[in-house]
Amino acid sequence: MQEKTKGDAYKIVPQKDYPNSYDATTKVAQREQDENARPAIKNALPNVKKYSTVFIGAPIWWGEYPMIVRTFIDNVNLNGKTVIQFTTAEGSGLGNTAETLRKAYPKAKVREGFTTEGNNVKNDPSSVRSDVNKWLNGLGY
Ligand SMILES: Cc1cc2nc3c(=O)[nH]c(=O)nc-3n(C[C@H](O)[C@H](O)[C@H](O)COP(=O)(O)O)c2cc1C
């Protein structure tokens, strides 16, 4: 995506690492969602002033962006910009992420997002690359 859009990338780095195991991460993530938590981001937030379009990508956790993405969303104002969601998931696709973005940024234009299975990224990266290219072509890139 970055290659094709010639965009800059920003990675959300958690203050506190998530566990390595899937099950342990599930427990931490469940608690964060139950508590509507805003886990701390370790690195400085980006200055988005010069961007007109921002893509927000993450794995789907229980049908939603992980709560740490909400920390990002609460602190980075993307109203007035075009916002595009992309996710990896096992079956939930984009889940509720479009709705979440629309609620958080009522004055942003939320465009059609991209989703693929996390396993595809690992096992078949060239077909994911081709799907991403098709999607970005459709968006006019
Ligand atoms: C805490 C947790 C909750 C998850 N909830 C969902 C879900 O609701 N729907 C879904 O399709 N996949 C769900 N998954 C699977 C993840 O979306 C999948 O592991 C991820 O997209 C793979 O990307 P990664 O290798 O970067 O983690 C969940 C995974 C975790 C760890």
CATH architecture of 2-135: 3-Layer(aba) Sandwich (3.40)
65 CB neighbour count, 10 Å cutoff: 25
The pLDDT score that the predictor gives to residue 119 is: 94
Q: Whose CA is nearest to atom 18 of ligand 1?
A: 89
From CA 73, how far away is CA 105, in angstroms rounded? 9
* φ/ψ of residue 133, rounded to 5: -60, -40
Distance of alpha carbon 53 from its chain centroid, rounded? 14
Q: Which residues line ligand 1 (CB under 6 A)?
A: 22, 25-26, 29, 59-63, 88-92, 118
The pLDDT score that the predictor gives to residue 118 is: 94
Q: Ligand 1 centre from 78 Cα, in Å? A: 25
Q: Please give the chain's pLDDT, 141 residues, in tens.
A: 999 999 999 999 999 999 999 999 999 999 999 999 999 999 999 999 999 999 999 999 999 999 999 999 999 999 999 999 999 999 999 999 999 999 999 999 999 899 999 999 999 999 999 999 999 999 999
Q: Ligand 1 centre from 119 Cα, in Å? A: 10
Are residues 87 and 93 in contact, defined by beta-carbon separation less than 8 angstroms?
Answer: yes
The pLDDT score that the predictor gives to residue 112 is: 86
What predicted TM-score, i.e. pTM, was given to this entire model? 0.95
DSSP state letters, 71-122: HHHHHS--TTSEEEEEEEESS-TTTTHHHHHHHH-TTSEEEEEEEEEHHHHH
From CA 16, how far away is CA 24, in angstroms rounded? 14
The pLDDT score that the predictor gives to residue 32 is: 97
Residue 45 DSSP one-character state: P
Substitution candidate for ligand 1 out of 60, 65, 120 with most atoms within 8 A of CB: 60
Residue 52 DSSP one-character state: S
- In the chain, domain spans: 2-135
